[in-house]
Structure 1
Amino acid sequence: MPLTVKDKKQIEESLQKILDKVQTEESVDLPEGVKRAVQSFSEKVDTATTAFTNIVTCLIANITDQDIDPRYHRKPGEGEGMPSPPSGKENWFSGRSISERIIYPWLNANNYRTAKSGWQTRTFERPRPYSLSYPENIDYVKGEFLLILDEIANGKVLAEDVLIYFLKLEEKEKEKRDQTIINIAKFRSEGDKLIQDVINAFEEHFTLKDSARLPVLAMYATYQTVVSDIKKYDGFNLADLSSHEAADSRTGSLGDIEILDEGEDIIIEAIEIKHQIPIDEVIALKAKEKIEKSNVSRYYILTTHHSCNDVDAEVERVIKTIYKEHGCQLIINGVVPTMKYYLRLASKPEEIIEHYSKLLVADRRIKTHHLEEWDKIIRNL
């Protein structure tokens, strides 16, 4: 029989069995080629959380029922024609539903790296088995991903041993992350800092790979630093920072950062952050749609792109239309120039470092290498 979310109890029992073994001191004996593939994959998980969540799903499917072929993640005949597993037409598993409803919550609860939407991306959802000839470009770990599953499917290694080894490496990753968090938490900025040096530190951090979340946290930390010093924000509150994963259409939010009227809890100012994306008419029109449904009086679109100060005629036309029809000021600018301007108004601009550090360590979506690099950067200030 295929493995589906109806088999949740069995799958959860398998996960607990694996976790119990991970917590022991026993080593895992894997063939050298598979061991290298798991190590290589683990080193890349920060930028391949989708692939990691998916391979854990494939492995646990085979662990729960060894008749299941870990490469066959969809019902045969679905889509363009998913073939049947060579070992039997029922030996497949429901990858997407098991991943999203069982594996992702479990990984998340145990503080392992994970991504919720593993099978919602084209590269993983194709109705093809994860064989060595799988055509899609699977994140940065295609070779490792397919090799591991091929070795298991052909009986050369046990899925249980592979998953235990993966999670032992994850435990080491957690220890490294925890130590980095402790180091950052211990850091205290002593004395005044040159604003330009502080800005340079943020610019350096923004250059890291997969850093789209960082400018959002940096601007939020900027507001935390200056709101008490700027008179126009008297009587207003900085709204809690929302998840970067949730779409605005689902959350009802106007921007990444929002300023609320203290009395009526109405958004009066919203800030949308773009990372290395030029602001064009399409982005401006999307902002217009949100503004029209709100009472916001100022809406900022800030970007880290080098063309942050360039506003073309189409965008200018949208800005004027919004002001004429709604009264809201749509302001296009750069993240870094805006930070620099606000920090000049702050009585203690260096406080942004501690605000940003706290946001980084509290955000589960921030990668370990982002934390490690920030730790290095602030110690060189």
Structure 2
Amino acid sequence: MSDLQQVLEVSLQRAEQSLYKSFLDNPSVAEQIEYVCRCLRNRAGTRLLMACMLAKMDRPDIDPRKPYTEIGTPDSFSGRSYDEGYISHFINLHRLPCNSTTAFLTPAFRNINRPLTTDMIIIGRPRRLYVETLQLLEDVHNQQVTADDLLTEIIRLLLIMRNEKEDRMQALLRGLGQSEDALPLSSEQIILLIEQHLNCKNSSRLPVLIIVAAYQAAGVKFGERVLPLHRHTAADEQTGALGDIEVCLTNDDRIVTAYEMKMKRVTLDDVDRALHKIALAESKLHNYIFVTTETIDEHVRNYANEAYARTGGIEIAILNCSGFLRHFLHLFHRVRLNFLNAYQELVLIEPDSAVSQPLKEAFLALRQAAEADT
């Protein structure tokens, strides 16, 4: 274990020993850091502060407001190096509720070459998060609070949040377990449940999980399997993927079907881009399927249908997400609960950056209510 990993572990032990007592004497500073840590809309401030505090403890001569080597002064440093080199491993090891990627690649904290002082206007939401984050860096620089105490306070709050999250999830899962003797949900009830979940905020990842859950439930019946998913933030051009979901035959690694998920209408340009990817693909596809949550324009559908002749036998189809799900559940009616359980598992294991904690809890609450009604 490196010295800085040991520093983080010592801070963790301090936080665990005083879990429900703040390490900060100043109520104003304590309120600021609690706001930053509990801001579910934007978690970048938490990781940035952790990286800067660790750097300050490692090198007391640095200015915690200067986490960019581009600043070029002796008291500047690479906050990203501390973040990716130590904070990432630490939060993953202890399952702390933070972003899975470095704060220094978020739009607000990227490509900066000046100190993060309180007079700096950072464009981002919520505005208060950035104001409080910059003020906390200023407080450490002015010795109003030590880097050690602030880092330990952050870890203490994250431990509390982790425990609260796990307690809520366990309570919701226990609630589902109590309804095991109820009549199984029908296909139409499952469709309604999934549609309610899709209508929640920040649900763009869910259509991908619906398709994957369908293949997990019934793929073995038609000899196909889904390849591991790419990160939800990665573009197909970056990963080299043909689509959001890639399907192979069970005993063959060649991709036969690609799915592209859309939370908006499919356009002619979308179809043209799909044709371009098909032309460059190493594997000869059988199907390229768009699944959208919006209405389908007839002229776009007709344009996609014409691709069969143009590509020499590769079909491009545009399906409505709810329509796909309804057809699948009625076609494979006997595995509908396998589908629902697979979808639930996929939702729960997704990183919070892809499926937020409130969205995970919403599904469990919706399912519990649906099963209680039966």
The answer, yes or no, to whether TM exceeds 0.5 is: yes
CA contact under 8 A between 2:36 and 2:45: conserved in structure 1? Answer: no
* 2:357 corresponds to: 368
In structure 1, how many angstroms separate the alpha carbons of the residues matched to 2:148 and 2:359?
Answer: 31
SS at match of 1:333: strand
Deviation string for 1:349-369 (max 9, x for gaps)? 243321111112222333321
After TM superposition, the structure 1 = structure 2 runs for residues 58-77 of structure 1, keeping only pairs within 5 Å, are 58-75=52-69
One-letter amino acid matched to 1:148? L
Asked if 1:380 corresponds to 2:348, the answer is no
* 2:92 corresponds to: 108
In structure 2, how many angstroms separate the alpha carbons of the residues matched to 1:128 and 1:333?
Answer: 49
After TM superposition, the structure 1 = structure 2 runs for residues 220-239 of structure 1, keeping only pairs within 5 Å, are 220-227=212-219, 234-239=222-227
The change in CA–CA distance for 1:323 and 1:133 in structure 2 (over 3 A counts) is farther
* 2:320 corresponds to: 334
Tell me the C-alpha RMSD between the 2 structures: 2.6
After TM superposition, the structure 1 = structure 2 runs for residues 1-381 of structure 1, keeping only pairs within 5 Å, are 9-25=2-18, 27=21, 28-44=23-39, 46-75=40-69, 78=70, 82=71, 89-112=73-96, 113-125=98-110, 126-140=112-126, 141-183=129-171, 185-186=173-174, 187-188=176-177, 190-227=182-219, 234-274=222-262, 276-292=263-279, 293=281, 294-304=283-293, 306-307=294-295, 309-313=296-300, 316-317=302-303, 320-321=306-307, 323-348=309-334, 349-365=336-352, 366-381=355-370
Deviation of 1:185 after TM superposition, in Å, equals 4.6
The change in CA–CA distance for 1:90 and 1:285 in structure 2 (over 3 A counts) is same
Q: TM-score, structure 2 length as denominator?
A: 0.84
CA contact under 8 A between 2:260 and 2:290: conserved in structure 1? Answer: yes
One-letter amino acid matched to 1:295? K
CA contact under 8 A between 2:66 and 2:77: conserved in structure 1? Answer: yes
The change in CA–CA distance for 1:182 and 1:148 in structure 2 (over 3 A counts) is same
SS at match of 1:47: coil
One-letter amino acid matched to 2:232? H
The change in CA–CA distance for 1:325 and 1:218 in structure 2 (over 3 A counts) is closer
In structure 1, how many angstroms separate the alpha carbons of the residues matched to 2:303 and 2:198?
Answer: 31
Question: For this pair of structures, how many residues does the alignment match?
Answer: 355
Deviation of 1:220 after TM superposition, in Å, equals 1.6
Q: TM-score, structure 1 length as denominator?
A: 0.83
The change in CA–CA distance for 1:272 and 1:107 in structure 2 (over 3 A counts) is same
One-letter amino acid matched to 1:64? D
In structure 1, how many angstroms separate the alpha carbons of the residues matched to 2:206 and 2:42?
Answer: 18
In structure 2, how many angstroms separate the alpha carbons of the residues matched to 1:201 and 1:271?
Answer: 23
Deviation of 1:322 after TM superposition, in Å, equals 6.2
CA contact under 8 A between 1:100 and 1:118: conserved in structure 2? Answer: no
In structure 2, how many angstroms separate the alpha carbons of the residues matched to 1:43 and 1:285?
Answer: 43
The change in CA–CA distance for 1:286 and 1:180 in structure 2 (over 3 A counts) is farther
CA contact under 8 A between 1:235 and 1:262: conserved in structure 2? Answer: yes
Once superposed, which parts of structure 1, at least 4 consecutive aligned residues long, lie more than 6 Å away?
Answer: none
CA contact under 8 A between 2:307 and 2:316: conserved in structure 1? Answer: no
One-letter amino acid matched to 2:79? G
CA contact under 8 A between 1:51 and 1:139: conserved in structure 2? Answer: no
* 1:4 corresponds to: none
CA contact under 8 A between 1:238 and 1:259: conserved in structure 2? Answer: yes
The change in CA–CA distance for 1:167 and 1:286 in structure 2 (over 3 A counts) is farther
Where does the alignment leave 5 or more consecutive residues of structure 2 unmatched? none
Where does the alignment leave 5 or more consecutive residues of structure 1 unmatched? 1-7
SS at match of 2:277: helix
Deviation of 1:93 after TM superposition, in Å, equals 1.3
One-letter amino acid matched to 1:60? L
One-letter amino acid matched to 1:354? N
CA contact under 8 A between 1:54 and 1:119: conserved in structure 2? Answer: yes
Deviation of 1:326 after TM superposition, in Å, equals 4.4
The change in CA–CA distance for 1:135 and 1:282 in structure 2 (over 3 A counts) is farther
Deviation of 1:379 after TM superposition, in Å, equals 1.0
Q: Structure 1 stretch 235-244 or stretch 160-169: which is displaced more?
A: 235-244
The change in CA–CA distance for 1:237 and 1:146 in structure 2 (over 3 A counts) is same
